[in-house]
Structure 1
């Protein structure tokens, strides 16, 4: 399934022209989805139609899929029938997200709406909600899942709980989404905005690391920035994230040779299937570089988790093998050639037997 990036727009709290500029900027960097909140709408139905139709039309013309966040009170407030979703179709929406669900039967029924609107289900509960919907035989390709975001510091999901919730949806092969937070974005649906992320541990991480982490779980297909407006620098950083395999940012040591740089940056790495807890081993590179000179340097030190190591000339058949330290160790037959960006050490937990991974150079600002 294609993995995509998204932004969020809050027409009730923003200026239309600024929203349009943000959409254009997101398009420039390959974003495809827009989360748009209707929950906080306080205008008349005529004003809501005017505002939302204009901005959704603008987004549609630029190739975005717009999903509106709603709840049962929206149906009541604007006298919308569950059996007639023409209101959302008239706005130009691609789908609707049910922040609060119904009884399972209702979700299944409206997934067969004549407008082919996607029905996105709240994923952030570890209950049999989606199982119940599936029991009622929905139009499954039109059922999506999307986590909540949490504006209040300290209220985001813990990682283990997030995994349980996500697995409930992914086992059915549904498209899934979760939120990350911008350090620059000040706009959200409510008056509290300590960041708008799904996972609490993401709240203070760089935005690209948040996305890398979500994609690495292989449980999330669409990563959406929860708050607006992210900076162009953040959008660009996200556009460079490899969505299909782990790509580690590595600070390369000054003493690292050209041969070692090639081993680190130019090769498709994969972890050996017969793993060890001490290091991640990428062994095929040693065959390719068996005749190259891997001179000795930075080898008489203790290695720490996240250090990048390459076997030197004293390592016999293992010369040229690339390793990532997982535990403290010391071995003078290995050179320390770099170190994984500190915020990305969490990604090492996802490099399993036979996992593919790449490395890119990172220079701390």
Structure 2
């Protein structure tokens, strides 16, 4: 998964904690950084110095930098010693200006304005399609993001034109104001965990580059991106037995023949048998989507099998429910591939 993050400039300048965040994200495998020169007019005189500091830090970390820029800010870009990798062009550029800029930078266009006719105009002007990227907007206001179907439809069309596609997922720590409701491209992703939204973009919605729109991710999300592994946060029953706790803490892998109703952990049953773990029955209830279950001794040779419930199921005295996956991680249930690894971790009181 090609992935990037966002940092935004402000009147306070480039802060040391932002550089620390850049280092953390770089170490986690993020290779692209996005920022914008749309700074309030009263800070316009400071933006060159602020951006210069950010660009020099990015160069040390070997990050590719994409800057959202309007025509009146080109002079700031040209004054930089450390140049950006790509420019995301705002309104106001002519095809001739875009062609000239494409000689020095990759150019990222707004997905809402890219058409076959415009693409043909660019190529007729001599712009190499390999230097063109198409980026979806992010949508700060709830209820205004794109549908997942629309993102997929557009991305498939852009790919057919030979263009790289990019879209945004929300953060889950520091959210950008003033709305502070996440910065996704697809509305459904606003309530999803960032890694789940990213997997959906790349696995299902024909997206080449995933960008975190908000300027902050939790340690859990950073770790998920770094390992590229589904790490389900779950609230576990307070009275787990030692056998149940041991099975839940295993490194799991979905079976190569995925079930319709549940995610089955391939190694859990054999590990339980190997270590003579006995799972005693407990009180039962109907199984909800996201429940974490373990088959108990009443299920015979299936004793110890851990499952994640994808569709609601009736109660079964042979199956213990030991926990519930946090809601924002639930979409990962449908994205796990045959044979894919996953793990479970206890969420804290804030659900992180």
Same fold (TM over 0.5): yes
* Contact 2:134–2:158 (8 Å) recurs in 1: yes
* Contact 1:271–1:351 (8 Å) recurs in 2: no
Whether 1:236 and 2:219 are equivalent positions in the alignment is yes
Distance 1:99 1:139 in 2: 20
Q: Matches of residues 63-102 of structure 1 in structure 2 within 5 Å? A: 63-71=62-70, 74=71, 77=72, 87=78, 90=81, 92-100=83-91
**Pairwise CA distance, 1:313:** 1.6
* Contact 1:68–1:96 (8 Å) recurs in 2: yes
Give the counterpart of 1:165 among 143, 151, 154: 154
- The equivalent of 2:18 in structure 1 is 22
Distance 1:126 1:355 in 2: 38
Distance 2:87 2:182 in 1: 23
Distance 1:86 1:25 in 2: 23
Q: Matches of residues 337-356 of structure 1 in structure 2 within 5 Å? A: 337-352=322-337, 354=338, 356=340
* Contact 1:313–1:333 (8 Å) recurs in 2: yes
* Contact 1:310–1:322 (8 Å) recurs in 2: yes
The superposition leaves residues 98-140 of structure 1 with CA deviations (integer Å, 9 ceiling, x where unpaired) of 2459798986x55852x4x222232356955797589768545
Distance 1:194-1:288 versus aligned 2 partners, 3 A rule: closer
**Pairwise CA distance, 1:211:** 3.3
Give the counterpart of 1:197 among 154, 168, 184: 184
Distance 2:290 2:92 in 1: 43
* Contact 2:284–2:321 (8 Å) recurs in 1: no
Gaps of 5+ in 1: none
Distance 1:242-1:40 versus aligned 2 partners, 3 A rule: closer
Give the counterpart of 1:180 among 163, 170, 194: 170
Whether 1:143 and 2:135 are equivalent positions in the alignment is no
How many residues get paired? 338
Q: Matches of residues 198-217 of structure 1 in structure 2 within 5 Å? A: 198-203=185-190, 205=191, 209-217=193-201
* Contact 1:271–1:281 (8 Å) recurs in 2: yes
- The equivalent of 1:53 in structure 2 is 52
The alignment's TM-score, normalised by the length of structure 1, stands at: 0.75
- The equivalent of 1:311 in structure 2 is 295
- The equivalent of 1:336 in structure 2 is 321
**Pairwise CA distance, 1:96:** 0.5
Gaps of 5+ in 2: none
Distance 1:192 1:339 in 2: 30
Give the counterpart of 1:261 among 245, 255, 258: 245
The alignment's TM-score, normalised by the length of structure 2, stands at: 0.77
Distance 1:169-1:268 versus aligned 2 partners, 3 A rule: farther
Distance 1:102-1:363 versus aligned 2 partners, 3 A rule: same
**Pairwise CA distance, 1:248:** 1.6
Give the counterpart of 1:121 among 106, 109, 117: 109
